[in-house]
Structure 1
């Protein structure tokens, strides 16, 4: 791993960990929804740590955690389809963990599943960035508005982190 790749990996770890910490702070206010986001963010941070190959038990444990997060996301779907992103994110993380465990190096490009996930998260990041910029003009410094924008920024950061991890597969 080159020094630039190593630096990018550690920046991704920090970005995801900070997003996770922010989500933990928001758990009470969100009625528990932010707990799922915190698990995802900390899990992404853990997966981004540049430790070399993730084979064996580490990948299986990570996949189990993300499958549990996917079940939680299915439970959240009772509250509306807007929780579907949590399900996609959880399943994407489980996919990356299992792919790492299988040690699949796709010489001919990404697998179809990885390609679909790349398209989804690229669209999510573009849409989220557009919404954040559009809402940025309305921010007037009051706490609830700033907290909402911070939440959107954390979600955007996690989406960019997911996109980066998928690109690095």
Structure 2
């Protein structure tokens, strides 16, 4: 997980800033949106902690199982929210009324939490001297997660462009949305976490 110090600190900063913005979104959001922002904040800070260069701090052996338990617990709400897409047609219709991307976002959060559990388990089983050298995880699972998050980054980047353009064109209009209510910033944070996930998976 821990690569070169310079890239490691850049990854820490990116994830920490993303987590901090998600906390801002928690304050301005309500209900389901607030819960989603809280889950993303946990992901951001957790990724920042895992990306700290080993030369600065090497986590004790018990830290990785703790990470696995924490992110496993974080996956439960996402699994509960996404269950409609998997087995309950009535709830699936309700999600469709809210928007076709609502359930997909829950599934994405579930995959992200699962990836964090996977990386934590891999790091817990890897020798201390092998951290960050690659080859510790299951190649097929690592490759599948890499493909998923790389595709997510590309898709989110494409979707971010028109959102940012619309937000910019309306900047001179009436009232402006607060920092926690801007959809382009929320999407940019998810893009940042996707990029960070790709970078972390590459070190396995």
TM-score norm. by structure 2 comes to: 0.74
Shift of residue 27, structure 1, vs aligned partner: 1.3
The corresponding residue for 2:103 is: 81
**Inter-partner Cα distance in structure 1 for 2:8 and 2:138:** 20
**Inter-partner Cα distance in structure 2 for 1:37 and 1:69:** 10
**Inter-partner Cα distance in structure 2 for 1:125 and 1:86:** 14
1:106 aligns with 2:135: yes
1:123 aligns with 2:151: yes
TM-score norm. by structure 1 comes to: 0.88
Please report the RMSD computed on the Cα atoms of aligned residues, expressed in angstroms.
2.5
Unaligned stretches of 5+ in structure 1?
none
User: CA 1:130/1:101 → structure 2, altered by over 3 Å: closer, same or farther?
Assistant: same
**Inter-partner Cα distance in structure 1 for 2:74 and 2:148:** 19
More RCO (CA 8 Å, sep 6+): 2
Shift of residue 60, structure 1, vs aligned partner: 0.6
Give the match's secondary structure for 1:41.
Answer: helix
User: CA 1:123/1:55 → structure 2, altered by over 3 Å: closer, same or farther?
Assistant: farther
The corresponding residue for 1:72 is: 77
Contact 1:16 1:157 in 2 (8 A): yes
Aligned residues: 166
Shift of residue 133, structure 1, vs aligned partner: 1.4
**Inter-partner Cα distance in structure 1 for 2:11 and 2:81:** 27
**Inter-partner Cα distance in structure 2 for 1:9 and 1:15:** 10
Unaligned stretches of 5+ in structure 2?
84-94, 96-101, 128-133
1:72-95 CA distance string (max 9 Å, x none): 211232565221000000000110
1:38 aligns with 2:41: yes
1:153 aligns with 2:193: no
The corresponding residue for 2:165 is: 137
**Inter-partner Cα distance in structure 1 for 2:71 and 2:49:** 12
- Which shows bigger deviation, 77-86 or 6-15? 77-86
